Chains A and B, each alone.
Chain A
Amino acid sequence: MEEKKNILEIKNLNVEYSSSEIFTKNKYYCALDNLSLNIPAGIAIGIVGESGSGKSTLARALVRLLDIFNYNVKVSGEILFYTVDNVTDINKAKAKQLKKIRKEIQIIFQDPASSLSPKMTARELISEPLCNYFNLSNKEVSQKLSEWLELTGLGNIDADSYPRQLSGGQRQKVAIARSLAARPSVLIADEIVSALDVSVQGQILNLISDLKSKFNLTLIFISHDLSVVRNISDYVVVMNEGKIVEEGNTDEIFNNPQNDYTKKLLSSIPLVKFPH
């Protein structure tokens, strides 16, 4: 661990949601509680925990998506993002820096049916980051588009189809192509297989790990499915109630868990084999 340079350092991250009802005192619900975590560059880190443990909140906090539309959320602490030549605190970044950071840290959401706009075609969806983050001519955009479709195994679909015309797996591949088209250095996969058929899950996981090594990504893989995390990640973080209860190399955690919660979680793994 120590020999690698950190790409993300989370220091004392607090996320609180408040209920803003009139005539009542604001109640706070703590989604992340003083969370600190270092993420080395190039690693595949798995974050596990049951529903409501704050995994997705963490994922969204890393891209600063929590406070865009929600005025009842309080985020404090630091998230340092290291690039080759400088460091930025994501929580304090201004709009311009934020756009750069969002290019570098991409997120794939759980359900591709809701994370892809139903009124946009695959072509429009994948071209979007290409047009926004790079200065490309129309010809270059369509060339890149077909490259990405090819890379994610979508070479055979009609680029002008809407998400509803694609299968679940194809949709998630479009979402992956869209995220990677920004050429990020960090990829956050937030439960990307839990909305999919078991038969497609393996396909998507293989694709993700292939692309990870191909583009030398840092992968933050979030899942409640422990066997999936075991397959894909080098390092595992176990979360419960907004806190990290245990972290360590995958083998250590799975073979010799120390924390009670981790033990409980591990004992609940159903026996499913994934092709790898």
Chain B
Amino acid sequence: MKLFSKKYGRMWKYFKSRKSGYVSFIILSGAYVLSFILPVFIGSDALVVRYNGDYYFPVFKHYESTVFGQNYEGEANYRFLKKTFKSENNGNFVIMPLYPYGAEENLLNEIQGNPPHPPSGNNIFGTDESGRDVFAKVFYGFRISFSFSLLVTLISFVIGIIFGSLSGYYRGWIDTTGQRFVEIMLSIPFLYIMMILASIFRPGFYMLVIMLSVFGWMAISLYVRGEFLRESAKDYVLSAVTAGSSNLRIIIKHILPNALTPVISFLPFVIVANISSLVSLDFLGFGIPPPSPSWGNMISQGLNNLNNWWLALFPLSALFVTLMLIVLIGESFRYALNPEGKISNSGAKK
């Protein structure tokens, strides 16, 4: 392993040398990591409750409202509890997350008037048609959209790279049958299949991931195949054969790193495309069903309520910022992978 650490160290150095991509990477990966502990920052469940001498941690555990002397159906409302405890002033307290509203609860009994409510001091991005907090939904939606897109991209890249490299390396009948299969897959109208499948079973998160991956790998396999056809005609492949390497080793160690540069340049656009395709599926109503917070159905709500500008503006800006960060990262990543391009790049700047 020591052999390779230096190699990746150098790549990281190149990556870091471009500030825009590096900063975007830190922002996006930081946001993504934090999004897994999002209920600590944004959510309706209290972090800590002290009630009659006992401590409770509702972030991790569900408590019925009766536990704390409230009489609602279902889970306790900690924002109300906080107010009650404050007025009683007998040593009980509630510590809420920084932003004390969840993505899936409606606030109809807390805010006056009909939803959607415009932005206010408490709900800084306002609420949507059913009275859910938009700010919380945007952030929870980020986690879902981004995880979804990463998973789909990963699976479809793995399938596409394996398929394309075998096809391009072995050629002959493997390539011929493989290519016909790819053509069949490409000619299937994805959206209709999705509509049909979505009407048969209600698609959940993982079901959608699988379906988009199954229909998403062909383009990548074509790219990889083309690269393999081109690269395997070069002398270094023959010289790897004479150096005694097995086919598998030649594919993975010799050709793949050289074939991957254009595929990697493709990567940010695929991530972006997958985020957008989830958004558009949600928008059409075939995506992740509500009340799961998704940018797609937030945007479609925004479209239905054009007078309530906050409904469309915030999820769209979130989408915009995320996509832009990904593209910036992709640019730096490509630069780090392809230092040959370095010369022409710096030349262009001067």
Q: Which of A's residues lie within 8 Å of B, judged by CB?
A: 60, 63, 65, 68-69, 71, 99, 102-103, 106-107, 109-111, 114-121, 123-124, 127-129, 132-133, 160, 164, 175, 178-179, 182
Contacts and interface: CB of A to CB of B under 8 A. Distances in A.
Contacts of A118: 236, 258, 340
Interface string B250-287: 00011001100000000000000000000000000000
A103 B239 contact: no
A65 B242 CA distance: 9
B243 A120 contact: no
Given A128-B245, A129-B244, A132-B245, A115 B171 contact: no
Nearest to B244: A132
A63 B257 CA distance: 25
Nearest to A98: B241
Contacts of A182: 242-244
A68 to B, nearest CB: 6
Interface stretch (B129-137, B227-235, B291-299, B325-333): B227-235
Nearest to A141: B3
B234 A128 contact: no
Contacts, number: 73
B7 interface: yes
A68 B172 CA distance: 11
A120 B3 contact: no
Interface of B: 3, 6-7, 171-172, 232-245, 253-254, 257-258, 340
B232 A107 contact: no
Nearest to A127: B3
A102 B241 contact: yes
- Main SS of chain B's interface residues? helix
Contacts of B243: 128-129, 132, 178, 182
A182 B244 CA distance: 9
B257 A68 contact: no
A111 B234 CA distance: 10
B3 A124 contact: yes
B236 A116 contact: yes
B238 A60 contact: yes
Given A102-B244, A128-B245, A109 B235 contact: yes
Contact of A106 (B232, B237, B242): B242
Contact of A119 (B6, B242, B258): B258
B244 A133 contact: yes
A5 to B, nearest CB: 24
B153 to A, nearest CB: 22
A160 B10 CA distance: 11
A228 to B, nearest CB: 20
A128 B245 CA distance: 8
A182 B238 CA distance: 15
B226 to A, nearest CB: 15
Contacts of A179: 242
B242 A68 contact: no
Contact of A107 (B242, B253, B257): B242
Contact of A121 (B7, B242, B340): B7
Contacts of B245: 128, 132
A118 B234 CA distance: 11
The interface centre, meaning the residue of A106, A117, A128 with most chain B CB atoms within 10 A of its CB, is: A117
A116 B237 CA distance: 8
20 contacts: A68-B238, A68-B241, A69-B171, A69-B233, A71-B171, A106-B242, A109-B235, A109-B239, A117-B240, A118-B340, A128-B243, A128-B244, A128-B245, A129-B244, A132-B243, A164-B340, A178-B243, A182-B242, A182-B243, A182-B244
